């Protein structure tokens, strides 16, 4: 019954409309040339919001993405903040915040997102509320390379599900907005982290501030992954989640483990004992239906992906729990350093 309740509950988001138009800096760390980078940058540049400044942050003048950045006439700076433990992305964000310290709202954007022209205004509006810590969203992974990119498309719905519950919501660093004052007294804490979104989520929760989920600002991430790329990505995302909150491992193992036990038990008992045991497939059916309802376009391969996703996620959890290091944008990071947690 618990699985039926979870799979049939009403999803929630915080699509808020108001007249909040603060002075905003959009910070976009760039390292490497993402798939569809040109259209991604153009979409962020051309927002229906007048009071914002877009700045890309790169490691050096030899950055490959700079050719496209310059062609599109997007402002950029060199990442030079001094930090001992931070990732390249956190270093880039810290550089931008120190250089441009007079903005009311800061927005972090990943270079692999493609957004609609109301993305920024929808993302910012919830911050008008006094109880707001972060405003965030979660992407739709648009498949561009066959079966495993379609598995990633469905895998991303796990993140959407977490966002739709206020108990499991987190700040996603691909599209995340916050006011200057939330980080002013926690800047050193933030700047020594590997994960920007993990640090900001902790800061917001420590201040007892809410994390708003704006589904109407959902970006698209064009995903050309093959099996190796997908599996590395999924394990890394899971490892970062576990390093931020160990309970995710036990929650995930408990939920998907019991789900798989019920699924295979229903099939075996239904075949060998009594057809009525097939009724225990109802939670799995609701789970798959809820996954498929999120799809832009339903294909047979998506159905297969939704069916095998629990098995894949269990494997991700078991591998990620043992991971001490991750590779991210060509760099290696130790995620077991307790100074960062």
CATH number, domain with residue 18: 3.90.550.10
Using alpha carbons, select from 196, 217, 209 the residue that is nearest to residue 138.
Answer: 217
Whether residues 274 and 143 fall in one domain = no
Q: Which of 248, 254, 282, 250 is nearest to 266 (CA)?
A: 282
User: Both 333 and 208 in a single domain?
Assistant: no
Q: Is the pLDDT assigned to residue 2 strictly greater than 60?
A: no
The answer to whether residue 322 is domain-embedded is: yes
Domain for residue 231, yes or no?
no
Q: Alpha-carbon distance 36 to 111, whole Å?
A: 9
Per-residue pLDDT band for 337 (boundaries 50, 70, 90) equals: low
For residues 148-172, average pLDDT: 87
Quick check: helix, strand or coil at residue 208? coil
Task: Tell me whether residue 69 is in a domain.
Answer: yes
Domain that holds residue 320: 242-340
What confidence tens digit (pLDDT) does each residue in 280-305 have?
788 778 878 887 888 888 888 888 88
Tell me whether residue 39 is exposed, middle or buried, using C-beta atoms within 10 angstroms of its C-beta: 0 to 12, 13 to 18, 19 or more: exposed
Among residues of the chain, what percentage have pLDDT more than 70? 93
Q: Is 80 exceeded by the pLDDT of residue 333?
A: no
Rg (CA), the chain: 21
Least reliable range by pLDDT among 114-123, 214-223, 328-337: 328-337
Alpha-carbon span 191 to 199, nearest angstrom: 9
Tokens of 340: 């960062």
Both 86 and 163 in a single domain? yes
DSSP 100: S
Report the greatest alpha carbon distance in the chain: 70
Q: Are residues 102 and 164 both part of a single domain?
A: yes
pLDDT of 77 above 80: yes
Average predicted confidence (pLDDT) for the chain: 87
Domain boundary among 196, 224, 252: 224
209 and 265 in a single domain? The answer is no
DSSP designation for 197: H
Looking at the structure, do residues 35 and 156 belong to the same domain, yes or no? yes
Residue 341 has pLDDT above 70, yes or no: no
Same domain? For 123 and 270 the reply is: no
Q: What is the pLDDT of residue 178?
A: 97
Pairing of strands 331-334, 325-328: antiparallel
Contact call for residues 140 and 219 (beta carbons, < 8 A): yes
Q: What is the mean pLDDT of residues 256-280?
A: 82
Confidence tier at 256 by pLDDT (50, 70, 90): confident
**Number of domains into which the chain is organized:** 2
User: Which of 69-83, 87-101, 256-270, 325-339 shows the lowest mean pLDDT across its residues?
Assistant: 325-339
**Residue 6 above 70 pLDDT?**
no
pLDDT of residue 13: 63
Last residue of a domain, which of 224, 250, 268? 224
As a whole number of angstroms, the distance between CA 92 and CA 208 comes to 27
Residue 311 is assigned to a structural domain of this protein: yes
18 and 69 belong to one structural domain: yes
DSSP 136-157: E---EEEE-SSHHHHHHHHHHH
Mean pLDDT, residues 237-245 taken together: 80
pLDDT score of 326 more than 90: no
- The first and second tokens of residue 238, run together, are 């899971």
Confidence at residue 209, expressed as pLDDT on a 0 to 100 scale: 94
| 237, part of any domain | no
Pairing status of strand 175-179 against strand 132-136: antiparallel
Rounded Cα distance, 132 and 277, in Å? 47
């Amino acid at each position: 019954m618990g699985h039926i309740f979870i799979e049939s509950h009403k999803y929630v988001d915080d699509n808020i409309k108001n007249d909040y138009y603060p002075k905003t800096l959009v910070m976009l760390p760039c390292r490497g040339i993402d798939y569809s980078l040109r259209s991604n940058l153009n979409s962020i540049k051309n927002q229906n919001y007048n009071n914002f400044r877009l700045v890309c942050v790169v490691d050096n003048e030899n950055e490959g993405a700079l050719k496209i950045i310059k062609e599109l006439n997007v402002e950029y700076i060199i990442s030079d903040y001094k930090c001992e433990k931070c990732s390249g992305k956190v270093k880039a964000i810290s550089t931008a915040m120190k250089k441009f310290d007079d903005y009311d709202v800061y927005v972090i954007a990943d270079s692999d997102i493609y957004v609609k022209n109301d993305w920024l205004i929808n993302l910012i509006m919830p911050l008008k509320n006094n109880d707001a810590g972060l405003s965030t969203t979660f992407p739709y992974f648009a498949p561009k390379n066959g079966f495993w990119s379609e598995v990633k498309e469905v895998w991303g719905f796990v993140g959407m599900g977490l966002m739709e519950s206020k108990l499991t919501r987190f700040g996603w660093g691909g599209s995340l907005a916050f006011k200057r004052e939330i980080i002013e007294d926690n800047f050193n804490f933030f700047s020594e982290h590997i994960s920007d979104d993990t640090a900001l989520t902790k800061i917001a929760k420590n201040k007892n501030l809410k994390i708003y989920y704006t589904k109407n600002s959902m970006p698209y991430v064009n995903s050309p992954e093959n099996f190796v790329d997908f599996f590395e990505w999924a394990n890394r995302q899971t490892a970062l989640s576990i390093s931020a909150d160990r309970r995710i491992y036990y929650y995930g193992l408990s939920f998907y483990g019991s789900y798989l036990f019920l699924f295979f038990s229903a099939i075996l008992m239904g075949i060998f004992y009594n057809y009525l045991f097939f009724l225990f497939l109802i939670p799995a059916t609701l789970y798959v239906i809820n996954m498929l309802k999120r799809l832009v376009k339903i294909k047979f391969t998506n159905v297969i992906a939704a069916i095998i996703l629990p098995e894949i996620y269990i494997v991700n959890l078991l591998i990620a729990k043992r991971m001490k290091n991750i590779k991210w944008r060509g760099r290696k990071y130790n995620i077991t350093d307790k100074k960062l947690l």
